[in-house]
Amino acid sequence: MLIDIITIFPEIFDFYLNQSLISKAQKKGVLKIKTHQLRDFTNDKHNTVDDKPFGGGRGMVLKFEPLYKAIQKIKNQKLKIKNTNQKLKVILFSPRGKKFTQKMATNWAKQDQLIFVCGRYEAIDERVAKNLATDIVSIGDYVLMGGELPALVAIESVARLLPGAVGNSESLIGERITKTGGFVEYPQYTRPEVVCVDKKGRSCPPNSSTKQKCWRVPKVLLSGNHKKIDEWREKYSKIIS
């Protein structure tokens, strides 16, 4: 998969995209990520990407022309893929968009190419949303300073679904996507079996002779009875949307 990111702050992505599983996926050729500086698609000497809104109002609006040129150039790239019917989405991040869900991430993971448009300032010329974007997406009911963080969230969510991106594919087994786009998750525990703190809030080993609070792993998870474990997980699963 190829992911192209259009932004006026490409440096934001440099560190994050070179860490952990995202970096490994790129090195293995599972994923290729390219950032594009929007100012490179301007014609004036000041590399202007924004202007005042028609009709007045607060803030500045990202111009249509540089975004159009950037998207068209990226679309015209020759991808080295066998499938001639290339699956591509142009995704604009906006507080007005549809809520990003696990179901959406699964759909995006089936594409050959994703183009992420990261807004800044007050808004983006509406003609971008109406004529260039295939999807307008929000990652939550709040407003950020730009689309860079939503793009990183989407990359993280999509990349882990690509074959070969996650070293232990078993970590994806058991994730059940709901009709609303969320997924079902159950509580999980690891060693030690018992964790305790003393009356001063300090971690300490289990000791009945002192006043302490202890929290234990549910006994069923230590039983080795996989049928009962599955029943317990089913009982305590919660839908995360």
Q: How far apart are CA 51 and CA 7, in angstroms?
A: 16
Asked whether the beta carbons of 26 and 17 are under 8 A apart, the reply is yes
My answer on whether 152 and 204 are in the same domain is no
**What's residue 122's pLDDT?**
85
pLDDT at 170: 45
pLDDT digits (tens, 9 = 90+) for 7-61: 999 999 999 999 999 999 999 999 999 999 999 999 999 999 999 999 998 899 9
Amino acid at 63: K
Burial of 119 by CB count in 10 Å (0-12 exposed, 13-18 middle, 19+ buried)? buried
The pLDDT assigned to 111 comes to 96
Domain that holds residue 192: 186-240
Q: What is the pLDDT of residues 58-109, one digit of tens each?
A: 899 999 999 999 999 999 875 554 555 779 999 999 999 999 999 999 999 9
The answer to whether residue 18 is domain-embedded is: yes
What are the pLDDT digits (tens) for 136-182? Answer: 999 999 999 999 999 999 999 999 999 999 865 545 545 555 555 55
Question: Could you give the CA distance from residue 144 to residue 71 in angstroms, rounded to a whole number?
Answer: 23
Indicate whether 155 belongs to any domain: yes
3 three-class SS: strand
Q: What's the average model confidence in pLDDT over 201-210?
A: 84
Output the pLDDT for position 166: 81
Does residue 232 fall inside a structural domain?
yes
The rounded Cα 215 to chain-centroid distance in angstroms is 33
Q: In what order do the strands lie in the sheet with 212-216?
A: 203-204, 194-198, 212-216
**Position 178 in a domain:** no
Last residue of a domain, one of 122, 141, 170: 170
Distance of CA 122 to the CA centre of its chain: 23
In the predicted structure, residue 124 carries a pLDDT above the cut 70:
yes
213 has a pLDDT exceeding 90 = yes
Claim to verify: residue 139 and residue 192 sit in the same structural domain? no
Domain total in the chain: 2
Taking the alpha carbons at both ends of the chain, their separation in whole angstroms is 26
Between residues 121 and 79, which one has the greater pLDDT?
121
Residue 162: strand, helix, or coil? coil
179 is a domain residue? no
Predicted local distance difference test score (pLDDT) of residue 76: 85
In 3-state terms, what secondary structure has residue 194? strand
Q: Both 115 and 212 in a single domain?
A: no
- Do 154 and 226 share a domain, yes or no? no
Among 239, 220, 222, residue whose Cα is nearest residue 231: 220
